[in-house]
Structure 1
Amino acid sequence: MSTNPAVLAELADLRRRLPELAGTVLATTDGLLLAHDAHDLEPDSVAALAAAHLALAQRFADAVGHGELRETVIECGNGYLTTYAAGPNAVLALVTRKDANLARAHLEARRTTAKVGALIAANPPDSPPPPVAPAVPAVPIIPAQVPPLTRRTPMAALADLVPTEPGFWLNPPQR
């Protein structure tokens, strides 16, 4: 993962402005980690969960007809987990302690999300190229060379076991 230094600077600046911040994770909407400032967390796991949470929340917003999702808040016993859509292809996740001023955290996170979203749009992260299917040489099929398929029916498979007249078998069963 090659992280944009400007994105890392924005995350560090967010931590400076919000001392109650436990960590930040920036991920693609596919759950791949782009950048993080999370020392006591597993950033790869948080990235995957944040992307899944944002996708689920977007589905919920669509279901109730409220338009494009901007952010989500999860309140826990020991703090808050908030996610913000950072453009169409990224999500910013914040983990704050329970003493966090949530209104200030939203204000600062929204500013950072706008800056980070613009940075990502201007310089998209490296993504692996799509897999290329191996080239298969084209072999022309000439209808005259293709034999017809054998027609199989259940009765065709049972013909050897069906008596033709009482007591007479086409092929008597072997005992």
Structure 2
Amino acid sequence: MRLPSRQRACYSPAMPEILTQHDLLSLFLLSFCASTLLPLGSEWLLIALLLKGSSPFTVILVASVGNSLGAVSSYLIGLGGSRWLIEKLLRISVEAQQKARHWFQIYGKWALLFSWLPVVGDPLCLVAGSLKHRFDTFVLFVALGKTARYSLVALLTLTGRSLF
């Protein structure tokens, strides 16, 4: 089907082609960005790659590493970031920071298993950095939580696919 010239100017097939031609790199970059303060999700691409036939182990590993490294960037911002950077540029409110700090004070390192959650996950990583939480423990617990989440998404996807 040929689109009228006016519509052709707005339609760009480049993005889907980039994602399918460079699937693991795209998953890594999308997972990284989704774990920063950008409002993105990476699960849809993980599901698409699994349905396309990619190795579950590889897809889970790539997504988990990318997402964990994105969380490390939030940790580093919390470690050395100014109030202006965190509140004005990244738009993490004082309330969200206090809520994350409260979670962190109650649950300690165990709270980091939930760094993948929307709304509270990014502030948790920032708070861990601002509290100068041990980096090795931070990476371990964040990676465990994110890998568990991607593993569950993969399991549900592959189980659902086998039903049809």
TM-score (norm 1): 0.24
Which one scores higher on RCO, CA 8 angstroms, separation ≥ 6?
2
Give 1 or 2: higher strand fraction.
1
Q: TM-score, normalised by structure 2?
A: 0.26
Structure ranking higher in helix proportion: 2
